[in-house]
Chains A and B, each alone.
Chain A
Amino acid sequence: MPDTISPPGLTASNASLRAYLHGLPGVDEVGAAQRAAGLATRSIKTTAKAQAIDLAIRMVDLTTLEGADTPGKVRALAAKAVHPDPADPSVPRVAAVCVYSDRVAIAVEALRGSGVAVASVATAFPAGRAPLEAKLADTRQAVADGAAEIDMVIDRGAFLSGDYLKVYEEITAVKEACGDAHLKVILETGELVTYDNVRRASWLAMHAGADFIKTSTGKVSPAATLPVVLVMLEAVRDFRAATGRRIGVKPAGGIRTTKDAVRNLVLVNEVAGADWLDPAYFRIGASSLLNDLLMQRTKLATGVYGGPDYYTLD
């Protein structure tokens, strides 16, 4: 798909991309951390907490990305995604199940008709160190098997060496291979290190056709820290103002508690705006988070904290 919203000549060369990305306003690290810490002190209680928990559950991309993932494990996760709490049918289903590409077919089968999407990591996840052909083949296979969403990784080595054009072209190529599937572009912010890099990589991915920008693979620490999510939310907010296109954000990795999730929602609400409080535009990549959300949900509704034995492992 031709890029119609980027400035003309943006991708003519590495030099033009560099001039554009380095012309974006910088990010002051101390200030960004301070703003994120300030928003983390918001007190979300009672009805607001109940709203936040249900919203967070609906935004979860329930994830299993292990070498040990078996068909049985994927089916179990799929069942959990549709009925997170078998004892309480009022709990909404999660947004998607996220698996490796060779497990897509099993997940699709298990989730047919449930309303839960199947997302697949692709492009030599998590390192991204493979020939482009292999990455594209990985993507096509996942799409052919029924994945509605593709979570790709960028080539951090290329980005850090200043080869922005290579990163851009890989994203556009994967986007093309995605067809109708939504593309989430994983920046692996823990390897980009600076917030300036996070902002530049966000804009690069958005111009290259990302539907979502995602913080991390979950395999590198630090992952989805609040300041990183803040910088990415500022990026999607400003990108919409500049181009009219609304891009989603997906923090992944390190979000384990209800408190973490609520803090992310506060950030979305106050930085990007309430328009982004929607599973179509904000996702949380997580596995253990879901049970904590369920426990807090029950606690809020009944006053009793059940403990982990009352919730399914997956």
Chain B
Amino acid sequence: MADDIFTYAPAPESRSVVRLRSSYGLFIDGAFADPAEGRSLKTVNPADEEVLAEVAVAGEADVDRAVAAARRAYETVWGPMPGAERAKYLFRIARILQERSRELAVLESLDNGKPIKETRDVDLPLVAAHFFYYAGWADKLGHAGLGADPRPLGVAAQVIPWNFPLLMLAWKIAPALATGNTVVLKPAETTPLSALVFAEICQEAELPPGVVNIVTGAGETGRALVAHGGVDKVAFTGSTEVGKEIARTVAGTRKRVTLELGGKGANIVYDDAALDQAVEGIVTGIFFNQGHVCCAGSRLLVQESVAEDVLERLKRRISTLRMGDPLDKNTDIGAINSAAQLDKIRELSGIGDDEGAQRWTAPCELPSRGYWFPPTVFTGVTQAHRIAREEIFGPVLSVLTFRTPAEAVEKANNTPFGLSAGVWTEKGSRMLWTANRLRAGVIWSNTFNKFDPTSPFGGYKESGYGREGGRHGLEGYIRG
């Protein structure tokens, strides 16, 4: 009845701002070039499985050329350049990113499947903010508390994931360039397009050739890059499994490493929390970016005395989430990034059923084409369940309960990961008590999934090592 009174009409963002090429080469030494072996891969729109473009696959010879170009640029131009001059390039890149943000937001939604609301309001503003922030550091490195005359490391090999393609690129490239390093970056094979447009932006900003090189490809390309003898630094964001492999590869070499890996973040809701806002935080924590977030609050720890109330509010709220076309401005939940990821989410959710947890799924219709998984909540989950221990990396929340603050902390810390946690209470002393005892790199107080370039980000335990963002983020690219 009320549907006839007020139903949101489709409000799609126009695709016309994006000029997709049918195929893309590698960006090496300031120019796009074909790969030596002529292999390519296709990148698809996960919302409808339509092929967006063909992208080159870099082999060992290509990686070798890219590293050599980066080395040359480091030694002849970028390394010797005064910080104030490097800053000008970074500021210029930041401004072009802002100018082209609409185009990049649409492109990111097309290639990744995430809603335009997020690329427009979260990804792109943060991308530009990271470049602005690190541009500001470039001529002030002597004041960063990292020694009087901090020196760059040289050539950085950077491998990034598909969940925040352009933002992860910004997290990697901005601090590396600000500190005087040059980079070879490999975007994920399912989301290479925004990195290739970023290469165009480097050209537009007249960044000296070789300072930024983009090599596309899958795991094999990443392996060749990380193992390359000409690389001084490896920075990786992605799965713990691949992170371990990288750590083994670089062990015993001169290469410095930072790893930002998986997580199984706990979101602790005490009985005195502001419940409506806590529910918002739970939703943001696990359904932001379809749960494709390493610091997602995928484990809800709720105090038993309010568990029923919180779950009721949570389910009602989840039922209002709008799932569908990522380019529709009113879409809250977009598509799962790939068929492989969808299989993994289905498999782990199936294990949740088998282990006896109760599955609840939001009442929403799934589009017939593309990769989709509805927002899902498992209740009756215990610490022993696999869905409470393994990273699902999808819109699946595991709900556990606790009785006392000590139990909450114990359960939150009882995981091989340690990337993020959230705490919800109106009582300041309990907030501080809890935060002091949680072993996680970032702890959000009465909020979740809040990012800022000035704040360091990174993990404990199997969530990796090193910090990105803030003053701390400079450290991984500097010889003290």
Residues of A249-281 contacting chain B, CB below 8 A:
265, 269-270, 274-275, 277-278
Task: Choose one: A27, A34, A43; the contact of B11 (CB below 8 Å).
Answer: A43
A234 to chain B, nearest CB (A): 5
* A48 with B6, Cβ < 8 A, contacts A26-B272, A41-B117, A270-B320 known: yes
Asked if B273 is at the interface (CB within 8 A of a chain A CB), the reply is: yes
Chain B residues whose C-beta falls within 8 Å of the C-beta of A244 in the assembled complex: none
Bound-state CA distance A25–B310 (Å) is: 11
B6 in contact with A269 (CB, 8 Å): yes
Asked if A161 is at the interface (CB within 8 A of a chain B CB), the reply is: no
Chain B residues whose C-beta falls within 8 Å of the C-beta of A47 in the assembled complex: 7, 9
A45 in contact with B11 (CB, 8 Å): yes
Asked if A55 is at the interface (CB within 8 A of a chain B CB), the reply is: yes
* A42 with B274, Cβ < 8 A, contacts A30-B446, A31-B446 known: no
B274 in contact with A51 (CB, 8 Å): no
Interface centre among B1, B2, B281 (most CB of A within 10 A): B2
**Chain B, interface residues (CB within 8 Å), range:** 20 to 34
Chain B 1-42 near chain A by CB (<8 Å), digits 1 or 0? 111011111010000000000000000000000000000000
B6 in contact with A31 (CB, 8 Å): no
Task: Choose one: A25, A27, A28, A51; the contact of B6 (CB below 8 Å).
Answer: A51
A27 to chain B, nearest CB (A): 5
Chain B residues whose C-beta falls within 8 Å of the C-beta of A234 in the assembled complex: 276
* A52 with B6, Cβ < 8 A, contacts A25-B273, A41-B117 known: yes
Chain A residues whose C-beta falls within 8 Å of the C-beta of B7 in the assembled complex: 47-48, 51
B6 in contact with A35 (CB, 8 Å): no
Asked if A44 is at the interface (CB within 8 A of a chain B CB), the reply is: yes
Q: Which residue of A lies closest to B273 (CB)?
A: A25
A274 in contact with B6 (CB, 8 Å): yes
Residues of A123-154 contacting chain B, CB below 8 A:
none
Asked if B341 is at the interface (CB within 8 A of a chain A CB), the reply is: no
Asked if B121 is at the interface (CB within 8 A of a chain A CB), the reply is: yes
A48 in contact with B3 (CB, 8 Å): no
B277 in contact with A27 (CB, 8 Å): yes
Chain B 159-182 near chain A by CB (<8 Å), digits 1 or 0? 000000000000000000000000
Chain B residues whose C-beta falls within 8 Å of the C-beta of A49 in the assembled complex: 9
A278 to chain B, nearest CB (A): 8
B6 in contact with A265 (CB, 8 Å): yes
Asked if B426 is at the interface (CB within 8 A of a chain A CB), the reply is: yes
Asked if A90 is at the interface (CB within 8 A of a chain B CB), the reply is: no
Bound-state CA distance A234–B6 (Å) is: 20
Asked if B329 is at the interface (CB within 8 A of a chain A CB), the reply is: yes
* A41 with B426, Cβ < 8 A, contacts A34-B280, A47-B9, A270-B320 known: no
Task: Choose one: A28, A30, A41; the contact of B121 (CB below 8 Å).
Answer: A41
Asked if A91 is at the interface (CB within 8 A of a chain B CB), the reply is: no
B274 in contact with A27 (CB, 8 Å): yes
* A275 with B274, Cβ < 8 A, contacts A30-B446, A31-B280 known: no
B446 in contact with A274 (CB, 8 Å): no
B440 to chain A, nearest CB (A): 20
Chain B contact surface mostly: loop
Asked if B400 is at the interface (CB within 8 A of a chain A CB), the reply is: no
Bound-state CA distance A133–B221 (Å) is: 84
Chain A residues whose C-beta falls within 8 Å of the C-beta of B277 in the assembled complex: 27-28, 30-32, 35
* A43 with B329, Cβ < 8 A, contacts A275-B2, A277-B2, A277-B6 known: yes
Asked if B396 is at the interface (CB within 8 A of a chain A CB), the reply is: no
Chain B residues whose C-beta falls within 8 Å of the C-beta of A44 in the assembled complex: 8-9, 11
* A31 with B8, Cβ < 8 A, contacts A42-B330, A43-B330, A275-B2 known: no
B274 in contact with A26 (CB, 8 Å): yes
Chain B residues whose C-beta falls within 8 Å of the C-beta of A27 in the assembled complex: 274, 276-277
Bound-state CA distance A46–B10 (Å) is: 9
Q: Which residue of A lies closest to B312 (CB)?
A: A241
Interface centre among A41, A43, A265 (most CB of B within 10 A): A43
Q: Which residue of A lies closest to B12 (CB)?
A: A43
Chain B residues whose C-beta falls within 8 Å of the C-beta of A265 in the assembled complex: 6
A31 in contact with B274 (CB, 8 Å): yes
Asked if B101 is at the interface (CB within 8 A of a chain A CB), the reply is: no
Bound-state CA distance A51–B273 (Å) is: 37
Bound-state CA distance A34–B278 (Å) is: 12
Bound-state CA distance A275–B275 (Å) is: 23
Chain B 229-268 near chain A by CB (<8 Å), digits 1 or 0? 0000000000000000000000000000000000000000
A28 in contact with B446 (CB, 8 Å): yes
Chain B 297-309 near chain A by CB (<8 Å), digits 1 or 0? 0000000000000
Chain A residues whose C-beta falls within 8 Å of the C-beta of B273 in the assembled complex: 25-26
Bound-state CA distance A269–B272 (Å) is: 27
Bound-state CA distance A45–B14 (Å) is: 14
Chain B 307-330 near chain A by CB (<8 Å), digits 1 or 0? 000000000000010000000011
Asked if B413 is at the interface (CB within 8 A of a chain A CB), the reply is: no
Chain A residues whose C-beta falls within 8 Å of the C-beta of B281 in the assembled complex: 31
* A28 with B274, Cβ < 8 A, contacts A41-B121, A44-B8 known: yes
Chain A residues whose C-beta falls within 8 Å of the C-beta of B117 in the assembled complex: 41
Task: Choose one: B8, B121, B280, B447; the contact of A42 (CB below 8 Å).
Answer: B8
A43 to chain B, nearest CB (A): 4
Chain A residues whose C-beta falls within 8 Å of the C-beta of B8 in the assembled complex: 42-44, 48
Chain B 343-377 near chain A by CB (<8 Å), digits 1 or 0? 00000000000000000000000000000000000
Chain A residues whose C-beta falls within 8 Å of the C-beta of B330 in the assembled complex: 42-43
Chain B residues whose C-beta falls within 8 Å of the C-beta of A270 in the assembled complex: 320
Chain A 27-65 near chain B by CB (<8 Å), digits 1 or 0? 110111011000001111111110110010000000000
Bound-state CA distance A113–B419 (Å) is: 66
Q: Which residue of B lies closest to A234 (CB)?
A: B276
Chain B residues whose C-beta falls within 8 Å of the C-beta of A274 in the assembled complex: 1-3, 5-6
Bound-state CA distance A169–B275 (Å) is: 29
A32 in contact with B6 (CB, 8 Å): no
A30 in contact with B2 (CB, 8 Å): no
Chain A residues whose C-beta falls within 8 Å of the C-beta of B9 in the assembled complex: 44-49
Chain A residues whose C-beta falls within 8 Å of the C-beta of B276 in the assembled complex: 25, 27, 31-32, 35, 234
B329 in contact with A35 (CB, 8 Å): no
Bound-state CA distance A51–B7 (Å) is: 8
Chain B residues whose C-beta falls within 8 Å of the C-beta of A26 in the assembled complex: 272-274, 426
Q: Which residue of B lies closest to A32 (CB)?
A: B277
Q: A31-B447, A34-B447 are in contact. List 15 more A-B contacts (CB 8 A).
A: A25-B274, A26-B273, A27-B276, A28-B274, A28-B278, A28-B426, A30-B446, A30-B447, A31-B276, A34-B280, A43-B330, A44-B8, A47-B9, A274-B3, A274-B6
Between-chain CB contacts (< 8 Å), 19 pairs: A25-B274, A27-B274, A28-B277, A28-B278, A31-B276, A31-B280, A32-B277, A34-B447, A35-B276, A35-B277, A42-B330, A43-B11, A44-B11, A46-B9, A48-B6, A234-B276, A265-B6, A269-B6, A274-B5
The 10 closest A-B pairs by CB, nearest first: A31-B277, A274-B2, A43-B11, A43-B329, A28-B274, A28-B277, A48-B9, A25-B275, A26-B274, A26-B426
Chain A residues proximal to chain B, CB less than 8 Å: 25-28, 30-32, 34-35, 41-49, 51-52, 55, 234, 265, 269-270, 274-275, 277-278
